Amino acid sequence: MDLLVKLGNIDRRVIYILLILATLVPLVRPIGLPFSVSEATKKFYAAVEQVPAGETILMAIDYSVGGGPDIHPQGQAVFRHAMARGLKVVFVAFVTEGTEFANQIIAEGEKMAGKTYGVDFVNLGYVPGSEVAISAFAQDVLKVYPKDVRGNVTADLPIMQGIATVADFVLVTEFATGIPGPSEWIKQVGTRYNVPLAIGVVTVMGPQTTPYYQAGQLVGLLSGLKSAAEYEVAMKAPGLATAAMDAQSIDHIVIVLFIILGNIAYFAGKGKKGR
Amino acid sequence: MRKEIPLAIAFVTGFVVLLEYFFLPAVPASKAWATMLQQWGIVVSGFAMFVAATNLVLVNVKKMDPKRNKEWYNPVLLLVFMFGMAFIGLFVGERTATYQFLFTKMYQPLGTAMFALMVFFIASAAQRAFRAKSVEAALLLAAGIIVMLGRAPVGELAGSWLPNLTNWIMNFPNVAGNRAIMMGAALGATATAFRALVGIDRSYLGVD
């Protein structure tokens, strides 16, 4: 009984070391656990798949560096899908770091054969003002973004021809770690302009974003690294997110085991006191 | 007049933006007014960032005195990196190797590491505090364990029942709870916004 009670007071350094091992070992020696693609991810994928080749979609990169590893693979996967389908992608950001993350995604696009900056994709950069800026952008894209991040006049870029308001994008996607996020984009873009809106969020925002998806206000929803991995599987192009799934699984098991051990120790201690 | 003018500005701004949002077909001219106000909002937000940076400098300069602050080097480091990053971004260029090194090799890994450290604290805290002390706590514990396992690929090894149960928790109890919170918060926000619009709530002016 004493041993069970002691389980409740395991040195936290033991927990830390086990978590490090649970993360590193599957990354070095992948197990390859299979997983299915969720309905929300399938619908996001289908929304991109249904856009006719040659049309332009919007990708708003509204995430910070903290949540980057959880959500950046989503942006990369959706961009790769769009490029593979021959779509054009306009990047914007209403979070300061978003511009750099968009640059990182675009750097991958510039290595793709036959893809050119300004023709197939463009990064319009960051604008302060959060929800107000999103609303102004939705009403008049060129007024809010007279130039892109490279100093080009936006109106002169081939990709921007025919784009005046947010309604001119066939599909709007947003990736968020906080504010601005789903709520702001639904209020200012999805509802007002009746444009299909698909959103990717970090794992912790998934539960609070699900009501919007269920209500039909979002045509697709990606939630965290797991959804990025599912998207890669849907594309039949496994990448970094898929590789990280084993580590996430083992981490979850370790945390759950410690929670169970803590509860066993709690009830063992309670029984001892009762006697 | 020190109170009346800001109140009038807030009322007119809020009224015009609401007019454009809800009654655009009835008042087409409101679109041009609202667009202009939103453009001003972007400019004001830009200035707000400048004010925030100035405030950060003023607060940290005070903390740089070694006699008063044993960790005086922390504000020094903060200001050196803040001005260094701003200088390189503005005068050397965002697309240069120096800026990219600072962002991708320093800022990005440091920010990511801070976020990743949470897993250790969460695991340690969960082991010590996540106890089934009551029926409600037991339900929360069970739901947490089911969702943690069901949302990871390992959950699918147990069969389809675990992912299905996870989806049910996420799609019904979770959505019902979140929807109730969102509706309550929205009603509260509407009431607060109305109070600010008509000048009942003046806390944004620094007045009770």
**Is residue A148 a contact partner of residue A154, using CB atoms and an 8 Å limit?**
yes
**A133 interaction partners in chain B (CB closer than 8 Å):** 38, 41-42, 45
Residue A162 maps to which CATH number? 3.40.50
Structure confidence at residue B204 (pLDDT): 82
Question: Each residue of A214-267: pLDDT tens digit?
Answer: 999 999 999 999 999 999 999 999 888 998 999 999 999 999 999 999 899 888
Given a cut of 80, is residue B51 above it in pLDDT? yes
**Can you tell me the mean pLDDT for A92-106?**
96
**CA of B91 vs chain A CAs: smallest distance (Å):** 14
Residue A74 and residue A42 in contact, taking contact as beta carbons nearer than 8 Å? no
CB contact under 8 A, A65 and B133: no
Q: Are residues A230 and A267 part of one domain?
A: no
Please report the pLDDT score of residue B103 as a whole number.
93
A97, A194: one domain: yes
Q: Classify B125 as helix, strand or coil.
A: helix
In terms of domains, do A17 and A119 share one? no
Burial class (CB in 10 A: 0-12, 13-18, 19+), A133: buried
pLDDT given for residue A166 in this prediction: 97
Split at pLDDT 50, 70, 90, the class of B208 is low
Closest residue of chain A to B154, computed from CA coordinates: A249
Domain match, A121 and A77 both: yes
- Do A58 and A164 have their domain in common? yes
pLDDT band at B179 (very low <50, low <70, confident <90, very high): very high
More confident residue, A231 or A1: A231
Whether residues A22 and A156 share a domain: the answer is no
What domain count does chain A have? 2
List all residues 6 or more positions away from B44 whose beta carbon is below 8 Å from its beta carbon. Answer: A129
Q: Do residues A70 and A199 both lie within one domain?
A: yes
The pLDDT value given to residue A4: 76
**Do the Cβ atoms of B38 and A245 come within 8 Å?**
no
Is the CB of residue B127 less than 8 Å away from at least one CB of chain A? yes
The model's pLDDT over B58-87, given as tens digits with 9 standing for 90+, comes to 999 999 988 888 999 999 999 999 999 999
- A34, pLDDT greater than 90: no
Contact B35 A16 (CB under 8 A): no
Q: Evaluate whether A154 touches A125 at the Cβ level (below 8 Å).
A: no
The region, left, alpha or beta by phi > 0 then psi within -120 to 50, assigned to residue A260 is alpha
Alpha carbon distance A252, A177 (integer Å)? 21
Is there a contact between B123 and A266 if contact means CB atoms under 8 Å apart? no
Integer Cα distance of B189 and A124 in angstroms? 32
Chain B residues in contact with A256 by the CB 8 A cut-off are 145, 148-149
Same domain, A21 and A145: no
Q: Is B157 on the interface with A (CB under 8 A)?
A: yes
∠ CA(A35), CA(A37), CA(A38), 5° rounding? 120
Question: A263 and A201 in one domain?
Answer: no
Residue A7 has pLDDT above 80, yes or no: no
Specify whether the CB–CB gap between A40 and A216 falls below 8 A. no
Percent of chain A with pLDDT strictly greater than 90? 85
Shared domain for A258 and A205, answered yes or no, is no
Alpha carbon of A52: minimum distance to chain B alpha carbons (Å) = 31
Cα–Cα distance list, A125 to A92, A148, A159, B48 (Å) = 5, 6, 15, 19
Q: Please tell me if residue B46 touches chain A, with a CB cutoff of 8 Å.
A: yes
- Set of chain A residues whose Cβ sits within 8 Å of the Cβ of B169: none
Query: For B95, which residue in chain A has the nearest alpha carbon?
Result: A150
Chain B nearest-CA residue for A144:
B39
Model confidence over B130-158: pLDDT tens digits?
888 999 999 999 999 999 999 888 888 88
Tell whether A133 and A53 lie within a shared domain: yes
Q: Are residues A198 and A80 in the same domain?
A: yes
Measure the N-to-C terminal CA separation of chain B; round to a whole number of Å.
Answer: 17
Mean pLDDT, chain A, integer: 93
In this complex, do A253 and B95 lie within 8 Å of one another by their Cβ atoms?
no
Domain assignment of residue A84, given as a range:
39-238
